[in-house]
Amino acid sequence: MTDKTDSIEHTADTDNDDQPDEWDKRIISTGCAEENLKLQLCHYDTNDWRKCTQEMDAFRKCWDSHNNNLRTHTVDNDPETTKL
């Protein structure tokens, strides 16, 4: 590849970074993207989930307030329909 081609590919990759990917869209749809980001940043900064209890509690409250457990419920997660 030439330097010009590398530059064009890099520019295209950079442009795509401005658009939410599938993961971002899913997090945004929960209504708890801000809480999720704070939790992720806490874990990144501390490398220990146990030090992020406030962020986890805030995320959990947000998750519950948006009824995400109902929205994400699937048959595979339903203990009543799971056969042993």
Q: In the prediction, which pLDDT does 2 show?
A: 52
DSSP 8-state assignment for residue 76: G
pLDDT for residue 35: 98
**Residue 51: inside a domain, yes or no?**
yes
Asked whether residue 13 is domain-assigned, the answer is no
| pTM of the model as a whole | 0.64
pLDDT at 44: 98
- pLDDT, tens digit, 9 for 90 and up, residues 31-80: 999 999 999 999 999 999 999 999 999 999 999 999 998 888 765 655 56
For 39, the domain range is: 35-84
Is 32 exposed, middle or buried (CB count within 10 Å of its CB: 0-12, 13-18, 19+)? buried
Does residue 19 sit in helix, strand or coil?
coil
Say how many domains are in the chain: 1
Q: What is the pLDDT of residues 11-34, one digit of tens each?
A: 445 556 788 899 899 999 999 999
